[in-house]
């Protein structure tokens, strides 16, 4: 699921709680169903945001950085490893 699904569930639960009046089904408490759907939407929202936080914290280097063998912010990286590109000389 995701943020869109959680917003949908919260909105659906609010419509059920506040939009449906009267007892349309005698054996079912419609307000309770609405609150359960709202709680499910909030749970999905929290789980999605938490999984994004965990994924963002890991931080994998890109394939280009792995091929070089060192990262620019690495302590082993010095100026001698940089290659300067000069424009071609004009004749």
Give, as one character, the DSSP assignment of residue 2. Answer: -
What domain range is 36 assigned to? Answer: 3-80
Q: Is residue 75 part of a domain?
A: yes
49 pLDDT tier (thresholds 50, 70, 90): very high
Q: Is residue 69 part of a domain?
A: yes
Between the two ends of the chain, the Cα-to-Cα distance in Å is 63
Q: Is residue 48 part of a domain?
A: yes
- pLDDT score of 85: 62
Distance, CA of 53 to CA of 58 (rounded, Å) = 9
Q: Is residue 90 part of a domain?
A: no
Q: Is residue 87 part of a domain?
A: no
Count of domains forming the chain: 1
> Rounded to two decimals, what is the model's pTM?
0.58
């Amino acid at each position: 699921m995701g943020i869109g699904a959680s917003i949908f569930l919260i909105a659906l639960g609010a419509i059920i709680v506040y939009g449906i009046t009267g007892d349309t089904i005698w054996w079912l408490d419609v307000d309770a169903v609405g609150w359960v759907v709202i709680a499910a939407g909030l749970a999905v929202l929290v789980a999605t945001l938490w999984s994004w936080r965990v994924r963002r914290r890991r931080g994998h280097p890109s394939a280009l950085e792995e091929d070089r063998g060192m990262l620019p912010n690495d302590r082993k990286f010095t100026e001698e490893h940089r290659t300067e590109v000069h424009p071609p000389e004009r004749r």
